[in-house]
Structure 1
């Protein structure tokens, strides 16, 4: 199934609540962010702390249009932590960083508007 990021994309297929609960979305704090020049599309390598239950994980995130490594460090972001890792070049991306497309199609990160404990789960 191909997912469209456009704001006028049709609604996805209906799922059961148990399917929603199977997707483990957590909050973590970005410990470091650096350019990922080897990636096919512009991206950053993120190291994210998801608290004691999940630990520190890495993510390749295509968020270079709206963010710099300096402004990402220390920021809380949401990610799916229970997808299988993906090899991207020589980098293993362990979580899927979440965001929404703005009017120009650039990714805007999904994050809480108040600080929450690292590892907090979306419900």
Structure 2
């Protein structure tokens, strides 16, 4: 499945509410970020704390065009936590960090506008 970054792309096909509920989107706090030079597109390796139930998970995020490492630590982000892990080079990404494309196609992180508990689920 290819996802378009173009806002003019028609909406996806309708799904049932239960399908939405199956996607587990949680908020977590970035504990650390480091460059990921082996990635095809500019990316960072993130360590994200999703609280006591989910724990700390690793994610590869293609956000290096718009973010610096020092501004990521301590930031809350949203991620899908129930996809299977995905091997990206020698790095195992355990969650899918979520974002939206800006006018130039660079990823802007999706996060709550106020602090919420790590592990809180999107509904």
Instruction: Give the match's secondary structure for 1:52.
Output: helix
Offset at 1:39?
A: 1.1
- The CA distance in 2 between the partners of 1:42 and 1:24, in whole Å, is 26
- Specify every segment of 5 or more residues in structure 1 that has no aligned partner in the other structure, as ranges: none
RMSD: 0.6
- The CA distance in 1 between the partners of 2:58 and 2:9, in whole Å, is 30
Aligned positions of 1:1-123 closer than 5 A: 1-123=1-123
- Specify every segment of 5 or more residues in structure 2 that has no aligned partner in the other structure, as ranges: none
Measured against aligned partners, the alpha-carbon deviations of 1:26-80 in whole angstroms (never above 9, x if no partner) come to 0000000000001111100000000011000000000011101100000000000
Number of residue equivalences: 123
Offset at 1:2?
A: 2.2
| TM-score, normalization by structure 2 | 0.98
Runs of 4+ residues over 4 Å off in structure 1: none
- The CA distance in 1 between the partners of 2:101 and 2:41, in whole Å, is 16
- The CA distance in 2 between the partners of 1:119 and 1:62, in whole Å, is 22
| TM-score, normalization by structure 1 | 0.98
- The CA distance in 1 between the partners of 2:11 and 2:67, in whole Å, is 28
